[in-house]
Structure 1
Amino acid sequence: MQLTPTSTPPRLEIRNLRRRFGNRQVVDDVSLTLQSGRVTCLLGPSGCGKSTTLRMIAGVDMQDSGEIYVDGKLICDTVFRIPPERRQIGLMFQDFALFPHLSVSDNVAFGLKGSNDEKRARVEELLAKVNLGWAIDKYPHLLSGGEQQRIALARALAPRPRIMLMDEPFSGLDNRLRDGIRDETLAVLKEEDTAVLLVTHEPEEAMRMADEIALMRDGVIVQQGAPYNIYNAPKDKQAVAFFSDINVIRSVSNGALTDTPFGQFLTPGLADGAPVEIVIRPQHLKLDFDRDGKGPLPTPSDGVAARGLVTRARFMGNESLVEFKMDHDGSALKVTVPNVFLPKKDTPLWLTIRRDRCFVFPADA
């Protein structure tokens, strides 16, 4: 699509990037745009092509085809290539790669141009933003992992990059520190109005940080949108499962409907006899304590409750996970219950289902 003269181009745009290693297509026709002041998370399992995409944007790897633009200007295709150091793109990785023989001040100033006074002013400005002004003359080995991560952020931001690429930058931090460090990092990046592309395999991190998530699988972006939309309107079963545990109820389509122990579900567009999978997260199954577990089973058309026997119950900290074997077909379902609820094995209980929280998909081939 052609931009009109008054349109503001995205800070970063990648078009149809492809990269193959041997017989494996690692990145396959990936397109993405980033806006200044916003965080986009490239989310997916290990080996799906996230880091390779990041490396091509940074210029440390070369795409087989496709184009990369910054502020509407071409910086790389398969013929023309601006070198990495001239792309105004910052990089942060899991290992902070601070220079151990340089002070914090010299680490942050590394690569800066200008007079010594100008460099010192920029260093002091950034260290104040990350609350480490007191460490300006210390050396990295005297700082904690979280403090070193914030120094790495300050160093990456020092040259005022238009774009920040972050590859699993928080995965080496202690879980107790991670949330605070992520929030501080996000605040600084927003204040600097930097366009951010964050690579992660952790859905919680993407949901916490991202303005937009690009879900990647097998070298392809399979779904893209705001975290709320990705979570609540997933494209397929794999997308649901990437963000949480799931239950799968299997059936077949018949007259645009499918029967389940919890009643009928609509299956528009599926042929009669087509296998169907109804996916629901454990927190959206509920225990029906108004039943005593001894009455007759409801028919599938009741759409109210189905009975199962407890196979295992575990306390998970702020909730309990209860597993069932369903009477209807022997299938296994998992339910999360707030607080402590640990029924004994083989206890019969009735389950109800949040139909508005179910996802109906054609079954995997």
Structure 2
Amino acid sequence: MSTASPHLQGSQSVATGPKSHPRLEIRNIHRYFDGRAVVDDVSLQIQAGQVTCLLGPSGCGKSTTLRMIAGVEMQDSGEIYVDGKLICDTMFRVPPERREIGLMFQDFALFPHLSVADNVAFGLKGSKDEKRLRVEELLQKVSLTRFIDDYPHQLSGGEQQRVALARALAPRPRIMLMDEPFSGLDNRLRDGIRDETLTLLKEEDTAVLLVTHEPEEAMRMADEIALMRGGKIVQQGAPYNVYTRPSDKASVAFFSDINVLKSQVNGALADTPFGQFLAPGIADRTDVDIVFRPQHVRIDFDRAGKGPLPTATDGVPARAVVKRARYLGHESLVEFQMDYDGSVLKVTVPRVFLPEVGRVMWLTVPRNRCFVFPA
């Protein structure tokens, strides 16, 4: 099992609510296509009012997991529960329309021939007046009351997304499944729409499972992240913990660019141009990757051929030469070529910082920002 540096600081947990049945629970779900495990022993619990993001690259099994929960696809093994009651295993299956689960997808799937009011009311039960009251209540919450008699083609993408949300919430589902629902929106609209959606889902006390391949979206929306890779959940927890205590190198790299130093363990220590790193629990002569993010590298100016003094927290400074510098709008990216072995390290600075190419500088890497994994 991968081992992270013991110098990592801080922890954060998510309140799990009262000791009762989770709103949604899936146990040991498997799904095979052509003999290949697309979803491999996945288990999850989501409480009412909680947002969990199933995060991972395309093809890792996220959407297949969602479809099995919705009931539009059958698992090959495993069980699905809602409020402690079995809704599906390999022998018993509650039909999708009776699961009290709402669905939202990227394409919104609005009926073009129905008005906004009729789209939201679609699938509602009760009298005409009861339906109208529920439609008006939801359209007011998503600030679309003035469009109640319009048709989808008359709305912007953001407005259509809010109509789709209102329609999904209209029957008061206990669970909302969302598959990349914001990816079709303009970047300028996306953050506002996501925040409005999250607020409304919390107000309705809905358990939410959101599928996304965007780490920023998961960090912004989730109470808990389940990081998925190759059909498996490889790490699960509060966004802070998943980001700051990754389970392996691939987990670090999924959230951001990374730098990697290669070394070998000798006496629980790994030598690098930045000094020695602790590698507890890793056997001698094991090759290791020392992983750190570009924003955590510190830069110092050259002082007559010397850099800053070594410290216990930052280790030994290493000499490097500026290879390229670019301003990206919200930060600067500087690439350095290391004197030690000619390798290139990326460093980001949260301001305009554009040193000239060829300039000598000194880099240090805080130990509490590094992770040590067997290579």
TM range (shorter): over 0.9
- Residues 306-325 of structure 1 mapped to structure 2, 5 A cutoff: 306-325=318-337
Q: Which residue of the other structure, out of 264, 270, 291, is the alignment partner of 1:258?
A: 270
Cα offset for 1:298? 8.5
Q: Which amino acid aligns with 2:20?
A: T
Deviating more after overlay: 332-341 vs 236-245: 332-341
> Distance in 2 between the 1:360 and 1:95 partners?
42
| Residues 293, 307 of structure 1: 8 Å contact kept | no
**TM-score relative to the length of structure 2:** 0.93
Q: Deviations along 1:181-202, whole A, 9 cap, x unmatched?
A: 0000000000000000000000
- Residues 161-310 of structure 1 mapped to structure 2, 5 A cutoff: 161-289=173-301, 291-292=302-303, 294-295=305-306, 303-310=315-322
Higher relative contact order (CA 8 A, sep 6+): 2
> Distance in 1 between the 2:78 and 2:35 partners?
19
Aligned residue pair count: 357
> Distance in 2 between the 1:91 and 1:277 partners?
41
- Residues 137-156 of structure 1 mapped to structure 2, 5 A cutoff: 137-156=149-168
Distance 1:149 1:269, change over 3 A: same
| Residues 315, 366 of structure 2: 8 Å contact kept | no
- Which residue pairs with 1:3 in the alignment? none
> Distance in 2 between the 1:23 and 1:107 partners?
40
| Residues 300, 308 of structure 2: 8 Å contact kept | no
Q: Which amino acid aligns with 1:26?
A: V
> Distance in 2 between the 1:102 and 1:331 partners?
60
Identity %: 76
> Distance in 2 between the 1:116 and 1:299 partners?
75
Cα offset for 1:344? 2.1
- Please report the RMSD computed on the Cα atoms of aligned residues, expressed in angstroms: 1.7
Q: Which residue of the other structure, out of 32, 35, 49, is the alignment partner of 1:20?
A: 32
| Residues 111, 159 of structure 1: 8 Å contact kept | yes
Gaps of 5+ in 1: 1-5
Cα offset for 1:73? 0.4
Q: Which amino acid aligns with 1:154?
A: A
SS of the residue aligned with 1:238? helix
- Which residue pairs with 1:108 in the alignment? 120
Q: Deviations along 1:34-70, whole A, 9 cap, x unmatched?
A: 1000100000000000000000000000000000000
Does the alignment pair 1:160 with 2:172?
A: yes
Cα offset for 1:24? 1.9
Q: Which runs of 4+ in 1 moved over 2 A?
A: 291-304
| Residues 315, 367 of structure 2: 8 Å contact kept | no
- Which residue pairs with 1:75 in the alignment? 87
Cα offset for 1:23? 2.9
Q: Which amino acid aligns with 2:42?
A: V
Q: Which amino acid aligns with 2:119?
A: N
| Residues 43, 50 of structure 1: 8 Å contact kept | yes
Cα offset for 1:261? 1.1
Cα offset for 1:294? 2.4
Q: Which residue of the other structure, out of 133, 145, 165, is the alignment partner of 2:145?
A: 133
Distance 1:197 1:353, change over 3 A: same
- Which residue pairs with 2:345 in the alignment? 333
- Which residue pairs with 1:9 in the alignment? 21
> Distance in 1 between the 2:261 and 2:122 partners?
57
